[in-house]
Amino acid sequence: MAPAHSSGATPRLFITAGIAAIGAMQFGFHLAELNSPQDIVTCGPAGIDRPIDPSYDCIPMSSADIGMVNGIYSIGGFLSASVAGSFADGLGRRKVVFANCVLFVLGSSIIANSHSVLTMCTGRFIAGLGAGSAIVVTPLYLNEISPVSIRGALGTINQISVNIGILLAQVLGLFLSTEDMWRRILFSGSIIAIANAALLPLCVESPKWLALKGMTPEALRSLRVLRGEDADIDGEVSNWKSHDNHAGGSSLGLTGDEESSLLAPSSENRSPNQPFPAAAKKVGVLEFCTATRFRKIFIAVVGVMVSQQICGVNSIIFYGVSVLATTLPRYSGLVNVLISLLNLAVTTAISPFVDTFGRRPLLLASILGMTFSSAVLARAMIGEMPVVASTAATAFVVSFAVGLGPIPFLIISEMTPNDVVGMAQSIGTTANWMASFLVGFLFPILKAQLGSYVFYIFTLTGAVAFTFVFKFVPETKGKSLAAVWAQ
């Protein structure tokens, strides 16, 4: 067996992860699709306050309309994110991914053919439904197919794919943001979704999901496809059975009966081909959100996902071109593309270090960098210093890529028991989408009132997020569930 495969890192694994991550790519694409062509789509910077030539192909919008068109994507996202984990647990990961592709095709087609704010909001809402589900299921699936030794690095593929989607939207916008071409940018989402659906048969169902459903032979077949026919998979299967062994039922989510049900008979006395026992009791959403034994997990999951958004990265992803146009009117589109390219490069470069430095140090460094950069960006824009402003905007996004971008989606599965991980992912992502809506909707309105001082808000929220992560989010790298919460 080739040394490269000794850790389970086979070509088939990376192909499968890459196809699955196209869902995250679509999420990123729709986040940024209106950034570059915004002035063209909305009939110019002044929106409906400017006389419009009836022959001009655009949709007149006020600042509130622009905020709603961007924000409603997040509304669709948090609605689907709230149920995506349950659907993925009941139907399987692959079926939900296919459903997401259908939503992306439908939403993109409506957006690209919109001639009113209402129609565009409808398309963005439908695309948001697909995105909310995709951003729950993709990291969940990646976590479940990944060998432990490279789980952190492979988990960053989710955020790398988000950044590829953002970059693709920005590059298309750089070349197609014209009166007769802007609709092609928006229709591109349908092409990506069709490609994703066509490649999906190459992906196996999550072996861990199959095992937890009692389909052990199917789980072993899927695992062998991912790890290679000659791989020793018995140890990995045993780890699935014992993931929650040290969860500390009274505080982390497993009662004694549930723990016994999950683990008995022990991995030493059972053949890997024997079925996995079912959990004694299915945990409901209300119980997860309110029960004392889940409290630490619930606070950490929701808090870290909200922190990702309130630090303000979507102010650049949604509105970067119009923001930078204040100080760089001729080059704002190009600078925005370069920022997105650097964001992708840093996210890719940092992925091996997630398993080296750990999750928590990178999160704290990331938030600290965003907090400082937002203050510099505000000061530079107020003082009309274009070079400093563009440098600060770049540092702002790069700081996000270092930790706050890839780690929150990865860390949920590592600090949550198996029987509630899908629910935790959904609840955390729902909170993330709600925070995203607030940023996307309120930013253009606040910017119209406060001007460049609006970025000082992110300096304040960054300080709050830093304090929260420092106090409530544990390190998870290389730790059992018990060790994570014993810190």
pLDDT at 438 over 50: yes
* 229, part of any domain: no
- The half-sphere exposure of 296 on its side-chain side, counting CA atoms within 13 A, is 21
**260 occurs within a structural domain:** no
Q: What H or E segment, with its residue span, contains residue 219?
A: helix 216-227
Range of the domain at 413: 8-207+288-485
Whether the Cβ atoms of residue 320 and residue 342 lie closer than 8 Å to each other: no
- Read off the pLDDT band of 410 (50, 70, 90): confident
Determine the Cα–Cα distance for residues 296 and 181; give it in Å rounded to an integer.
Answer: 50
For residue 391, the domain's CATH number is 1.20.1250.20
Q: What's the CA gap between 3 and 270, in Å, rounded?
A: 29
> What residues contact residue 465 under an 8 Å CB cut-off, 6+ apart?
307, 310, 311, 367, 371
Contact 70, 51 (CB under 8 A): no
Instruction: Specify if 187 maps to a domain.
Output: yes
The pLDDT value recorded for residue 1 is 38
Q: Is residue 195 domain-resident? A: yes
Per residue in 12-32, pLDDT tens? 999 999 999 999 999 999 989
Angle, helix 117-145 to helix 22-32, in steps of 10 degrees: 150
Flag whether pLDDT at 127 surpasses 50.
Answer: yes
Residue 268 inside a domain? The answer is no
More confident residue, 166 or 317: 166
Q: At what angle do helices 359-382 and 455-472 cross, to 10 degrees?
A: 170
Q: What values do phi and psi take at 311, rounded to 5?
A: -70, -15
Rounded Cα–Cα distance for residues 270 and 91 (Å): 27
pLDDT computed for residue 159 by the predictor: 82
User: Letter for the amino acid at 175?
Assistant: F
CA distances from 328 to 246, 276, 375, 384, 439 (A): 55, 60, 19, 10, 23
pLDDT of residue 384: 87
Res 51: pLDDT:
53
pLDDT at 478 over 50: yes
Instruction: Output phi, psi for 451, to 5 deg.
Output: 65, -145
Task: Decide if 166 contacts 27 (C-beta within 8 A).
Answer: no
**Measured distance CA(101)–CA(22) in Å, rounded:** 10
- Determine the pLDDT at residue 437: 86
Residue 470's SS3 state is helix
169-183, 228-242, 289-303, 448-462: lowest mean pLDDT where? 228-242
Find the mean pLDDT for residues 201-230: 87
Separation between Cα atoms, residue 142 and residue 135, nearest integer Å? 11
Q: What are phi and psi of 141, to 5 degrees?
A: -65, -45
Domain count, the chain: 1
* pLDDT given for residue 57 in this prediction: 87
Give the Cα separation of 44 and 420 in Å (integer).
48
Q: Which residue has the higher pLDDT, 150 or 264?
A: 150
Show Cβ contacts of residue 119 under 8 Å, excluding neighbours closer than 6 positions: 110, 113
Q: Could you report the per-residue pLDDT of 289-343, keeping only the tens digit for each? A: 888 888 999 999 999 999 999 999 888 877 777 777 777 777 777 888 888 888 8
> Residue 265: is the preceding peptide bond cis (ω within 30°)?
yes
Contacts of 235 (CB under 8 A, 6+ apart): none
327 within some domain: yes
Q: What percent of the chain has pLDDT over 70?
A: 86
Q: By C-alpha distance, which of 386, 406, 394, 403 is closest to 340?
A: 394
Is the CB of residue 417 less than 8 Å from the CB of residue 247? yes
Q: What is the pLDDT of residue 239?
A: 65
CA 23 to chain centre: 10
Look at residue 230 and tell me whether its pLDDT is greater than 90. Answer: no
Predicted confidence (pLDDT) per residue in 237-269, tens digit: 666 655 544 444 434 433 444 333 333 333 333
CB atoms within 10 A of CB 147: 18
Write down the pTM of the prediction: 0.76
CB 465 within 8 A of CB 311: yes
State the number of CA atoms in the 13 A half-sphere of 399 facing the CB. Answer: 23
Mean pLDDT of the chain: 83
- Give the model's confidence band at 89: pLDDT under 50 very low, under 70 low, under 90 confident, else very high: confident
Say which DSSP state 403 is in: I
255: in domain:
no
Spatial distance between the Cα atoms of 185 and 33, rounded to a whole number of angstroms: 7
Sign of CA dihedral 316, 358, 430, 191: positive
Q: What percent of the chain has pLDDT over 90?
A: 39
Mean pLDDT of 224-235: 78
Please tell me the distance from the alpha carbon of residue 243 to that of residue 254, in angstroms, as a whole number. 12
> Is residue 226 assigned to a domain?
no
Asked if residue 444 has pLDDT above 60, the reply is yes
Kindly report the length of the chain. Answer: 487
- pLDDT of amino acid 10: 86
Tokens of 170: 């920005």
Predicted confidence at residue 333, as pLDDT, reads 79
